[in-house]
Structure 1
Amino acid sequence: MFMKKRKILVTVLILLTIFILWILEPVSMNPYGKIEIPQAQSEINFNGKAPGLTMRMDFEKKANELLNDHMNSGHFLGVSVGVSKLDFGSYVASAGFMDKWERKRANNDMLTRITSITKPMTAIAMMQLYERGLIDLDVPIQMYLKDFPKKSNGDITIRQLLKHTSGMPHYDSGWDAMSFTHYPTLKDAVGYFEGRDLIFDPGTKFQYSSYGYTLLGAILEEVTQMDYAVYMKRHIWDVAGMTKTGVEIGTMEYENKTKGYLKIGSRFVKSPNTDLSIIQSAGGVQSTARGLLKFGEAVLGHRLIKSSTLDMMVNATDQLAPAIGDDPYGFGWAVYDDPKYGRIIQHGGAQPGTSTFFALFFDHQVISVVLSNSFGTRQDAFALTMVLPIWRWKINEESKSVVNNFLESIKLYI
């Protein structure tokens, strides 16, 4: 009996040791300790319309310093960032580690889960169908998904799904947000939650819902008779020039893809490998910082939808989201009207293995993105996204005042 208990104890200790080593991989880098942190490596590609060489060098230097400050403060394990201004050019940079165990540094084309930045992409795809007359935003969704059960609260519309006012629930809990089941189609994914009750009458309140955007993806597939990934590649990603963007499929291995981590206190531990197929059209896409800059440029350049349709998407005049303390929400975009810097349309998100933020400074035609490979770093991703575009306020002035304005703008966000 004693020997049996001893064997059980030894087995438990071995399993516990393996688990600890797995999540800490390796212990010496939690936190960084004496390990040298890979600093910012950047590329700047401005064209002839941009400010002069001195200004470009000042911008790159200040942007790199800002990124390095975040790394040296332990805000990120690995991160890739980008900033661009329509018709001027772009800046991309990376710092930290994409693989902690092998001490492999992050790079500027590091493939990362983009989380809910997927939602504005899906919303734009739906508005493409709207422009073609293939969908009506205000009819019951059973017009397109005949098998979706009617709800006693009332009919759900595409407009309500786009604006998170349908009453569709979000995740029940943190565990509900971590799926390890692979769903072959979006219709199969809808089957997981279609029996749940609405949490309010459609159109009366705001409740952010990733499952609502899974429904939108299923509608897109039904209307177009195309797989979501195929449609998005053909009509969104290829048009924008996003060559390294696609749907993450299960546990498939991808070239130059970062490993994912969780930030717990000051430590970064290995993230579980969740399956994103249940929220494919809500948060199942992977891309690069460079790719998301191209997406932003395609949006602002009206290469995906008409300018009038984009105006419709970013109209957030209803008060349903602010009523619960959230930013006004249009079709797939959180919309913020800054009294000094104008309209900002944005989206961010977090999943096991990543935190992201993406912003279009609408009135200044500037795009900014931060992709972190660690859950628990979303606020830092937001802060960095907001202050990286140090040229955005005085882009036409050939003077160092741009940098001075950048230093002033930091005070707004930090």
Structure 2
Amino acid sequence: MITQSIHTLQKKGFLIAILLLSTGMLFAQEKSQQIKDLLNKYHEYGQFNGSALVADDGKVVFSEGFGMANMEYDIPNRPNTKHRIGSITKQFTAVLILQLVEEGKLELDKPISKYLPEYNGPAANVVTIHHLLNHSSGIPSYTSFPAFFQEQSRDPFTPVEFVKTFADSTLQFSPGEKFSYNNSGYFLLGHIIEEVTGKSYEQVLQERILDPLDMKDTGYDHHATILKNRAAGYEKRGNDYINAPYLDMSIPYAAGSLYSTAEDLYKWGRALYGDKILSDDSKELMFSPQIVDGDAHYGYGWSIANLPVGKSGDSLPIVAHGGGINGFNTLIVRLPREDDLIVLLNNTGGTNLRDIAVGINNILHGEAAEIPKRSIAMELMPVFAKEGVDAGLAKYKTLKKDATFGLKEDEMNQVGYQLLNNGKIKEAIEVFKINVAEFPDSFNTYDSLGEAYMMDRQKEKAIANYEKSIEMNPNNQNGKDMLAKIRAQ
């Protein structure tokens, strides 16, 4: 009887285990379908075109592609499609730097000049490795230079050559004083890695990270290389697409020149839990706020933030980073406490990946994801461009009444600048005016409107909007620079 009872209990326990396992699988399948439905809706509305991967409790529950990796040959995006990841590159650079610190080859508190003796600019003896890693150096970011995209972005440079283009720049503030996102800093870090190791940044990356982690679908993107499964980059023009402008990949360098896949970035996320590539002490540095400036909490190559869950006001701690480079924008979100990961790689230029990540995070935690709306901005673009101001304003009033459409500040700003760059200055002004009216608490809307008025030679209105922008955000260096330029005329 005792033996029979044990067998009965064992059988019941086995059945309970099977039942629990089946229930878990059903929950995972349900989450996967909800994520797919959400991303399908974003894709339908032209707001996501790329590859996505989601891990829940460390296990992949969703991995799919949406839309086309190449629109000209109708090649679909897949989980193994290679996308340029832009500034997600910075976390790889940060790990390489911290590895060299662990080996005693670099010191975080030592200045640039210790490792780059030929660097003779104002930053040489006052900006440290620490300042470069957390964007507090005060060195101007080369991507913000007025003629960068027109005059430099298509030309190849060696690291030594390109550093000279910004080395003599005046510091925008005292190092360590505040946070200001900066591609120049991470370019310098790549150059320092090369000088200290005697190898190219690409070779060091391959030997120290990509090979040990078996990340065979990640690397430094060279335009000349025949790269299988490489996604083409596109930009939106209203609801249409164009090929993204060419960018020589020697320019983003250690700040943004890598390509990867959703699947490889999952490997990367898993590796960051262990000690194969970095010690616990170094990871603590990387994932802790090394600078806190307003809403900016930045470690080394990662932003530290919170992601909302549902409508209760609750949130979960995350470490995350986005990337934007001609034709691509990307986002990686790690929730270390939950062991969750969200990877979004989009190859149609700027789109709001954070909203998608919030929706996916809600699904993972049993909450409803907010359904996206069609873009008012994208509908307005061709009307303003082809039919003029009156038609554009009329279309805007019509769309505002339609509950299936929504308006986003960044999208309207994007449309305004597309019009501005195409010589449609009057139309751009009206789009920026709509953005100011819809988002009056955003300093950036006034900054953009000020620029449009400046290009239209409406000096007083330009000054008024730039002053308003700076009043709302005293750290708006671009606004200060443009205001000084206008007043000097």
Q: TM-score range by the shorter chain?
A: 0.7 to 0.9
One-letter amino acid of the structure 1 residue matched with residue 350 of structure 2: G
1:62-77 matched pairs, under 5 angstroms:
62-76=34-48
1:265-344 matched pairs, under 5 angstroms:
265-316=238-289, 318-320=291-293, 322=294, 326-337=295-306, 340-344=314-318
Matching of residue 355 in structure 1 with residue 340 in structure 2? no
- Match among 341, 353, 360 for residue 388 of structure 1: 360
Distance 1:142 1:370 in 2: 38
Query: CA 1:175–1:105 in 2, change beyond 3 Å: closer, same or farther?
Result: farther
Describe the SS at the equivalent of 2:324: strand
Describe the SS at the equivalent of 1:116: helix
Once the two structures are overlaid, the 10-residue window that deviates more, 207-216 or 93-102, is: 93-102
Matching of residue 168 in structure 1 with residue 142 in structure 2? no
CA contact (8 A) 1:83 1:91 kept: yes
1:104-123 matched pairs, under 5 angstroms:
104-123=75-94
Q: For 1:314-370, what per-residue CA distance to the aligned partner results, in whole angstroms no more than 9, with x for missing partners?
A: 2216433x2xxx531111111114583432111102111101111111221211110
Query: CA 1:97–1:349 in 2, change beyond 3 Å: closer, same or farther?
Result: same
One-letter amino acid of the structure 2 residue matched with residue 335 of structure 1: I
Identity %: 29
Q: For 1:280-312, what per-residue CA distance to the aligned partner results, in whole angstroms no more than 9, with x for missing partners?
A: 100000011111111111112333212221111
Q: Which residue of 2 aligns with 1:17?
A: none
Query: CA 1:297–1:85 in 2, change beyond 3 Å: closer, same or farther?
Result: farther
Q: Which residue of 1 aligns with 2:338?
A: 364
Distance 2:339 2:288 in 1: 17
- Give 1:87 shift: 4.3
1:88-99 matched pairs, under 5 angstroms:
88-99=59-70
Describe the SS at the equivalent of 1:226: coil
One-letter amino acid of the structure 1 residue matched with residue 36 of structure 2: N
- Give 1:387 shift: 2.7
Once the two structures are overlaid, the 10-residue window that deviates more, 274-283 or 382-391, is: 382-391
Query: CA 1:174–1:261 in 2, change beyond 3 Å: closer, same or farther?
Result: farther
Q: Which residue of 2 aligns with 1:45?
A: none
Distance 2:57 2:165 in 1: 41
1:158-237 matched pairs, under 5 angstroms:
158-170=129-141, 171-173=143-145, 175-177=147-149, 179-183=153-157, 185-237=158-210
- Give 1:260 shift: 0.8
- Give 1:191 shift: 2.5
One-letter amino acid of the structure 2 residue matched with residue 180 of structure 1: R
Distance 2:306 2:39 in 1: 26
CA contact (8 A) 2:121 2:169 kept: no
One-letter amino acid of the structure 2 residue matched with residue 117 of structure 1: I
Once the two structures are overlaid, the 10-residue window that deviates more, 236-245 or 148-157, is: 148-157
Larger Rg: 2
Distance 2:123 2:254 in 1: 26
Distance 1:281 1:70 in 2: 31
Matching of residue 60 in structure 1 with residue 29 in structure 2? no
Q: Which residue of 1 aligns with 2:350?
A: 376
Distance 2:328 2:264 in 1: 17
Query: CA 1:87–1:60 in 2, change beyond 3 Å: closer, same or farther?
Result: closer
* Structure with bigger RCO (C-alpha 8 Å, 6+ apart): 1
Describe the SS at the equivalent of 2:109: coil
Distance 1:97 1:253 in 2: 19
CA contact (8 A) 1:358 1:385 kept: no
CA contact (8 A) 1:335 1:343 kept: yes
- Give 1:166 shift: 0.6
Describe the SS at the equivalent of 1:319: strand
- Give 1:186 shift: 2.4
Q: Which residue of 2 aligns with 1:81?
A: 52
How many residue pairs end up in the alignment?
347
- Give 1:199 shift: 1.4
Distance 1:136 1:409 in 2: 48
1:8-157 matched pairs, under 5 angstroms:
52-76=24-48, 78-85=49-56, 87-151=58-122, 155-157=126-128
Distance 1:285 1:193 in 2: 22
CA contact (8 A) 2:328 2:346 kept: yes
Return the TM-score normalized by structure 2: 0.66
Return the TM-score normalized by structure 1: 0.78
Distance 2:180 2:363 in 1: 35
Distance 2:362 2:216 in 1: 27
Q: For 1:212-271, what per-residue CA distance to the aligned partner results, in whole angstroms no more than 9, with x for missing partners?
A: 100000111111112111111111122222111000113433211111101122221111
Structure 1: segments with no counterpart, 5+ residues: 1-47, 394-401
Describe the SS at the equivalent of 1:358: strand
Structure 2: segments with no counterpart, 5+ residues: 1-19, 308-312, 373-407, 409-489
One-letter amino acid of the structure 1 residue matched with residue 296 of structure 2: D
One-letter amino acid of the structure 2 residue matched with residue 151 of structure 1: P
Once the two structures are overlaid, the 10-residue window that deviates more, 122-131 or 196-205, is: 196-205
Q: Which residue of 2 aligns with 1:246?
A: 219
- Match among 231, 254, 257 for residue 258 of structure 1: 231
- Give 1:137 shift: 0.5
Distance 2:180 2:274 in 1: 31
Q: Which residue of 2 aligns with 1:38?
A: none
CA contact (8 A) 1:153 1:202 kept: no
- Give 1:374 shift: 1.4
Distance 1:117 1:229 in 2: 15
One-letter amino acid of the structure 2 residue matched with residue 219 of structure 1: I
One-letter amino acid of the structure 2 residue matched with residue 314 of structure 1: F
CA contact (8 A) 2:51 2:346 kept: yes
Q: Higher helix fraction: Structure 1 or Structure 2?
A: 2
One-letter amino acid of the structure 2 residue matched with residue 195 of structure 1: D
Describe the SS at the equivalent of 2:66: strand
One-letter amino acid of the structure 1 residue matched with residue 328 of structure 2: T
Describe the SS at the equivalent of 1:214: helix
Q: For 1:147-199, what per-residue CA distance to the aligned partner results, in whole angstroms no more than 9, with x for missing partners?
A: 0114179611000000101111112347525711112x423332232222221
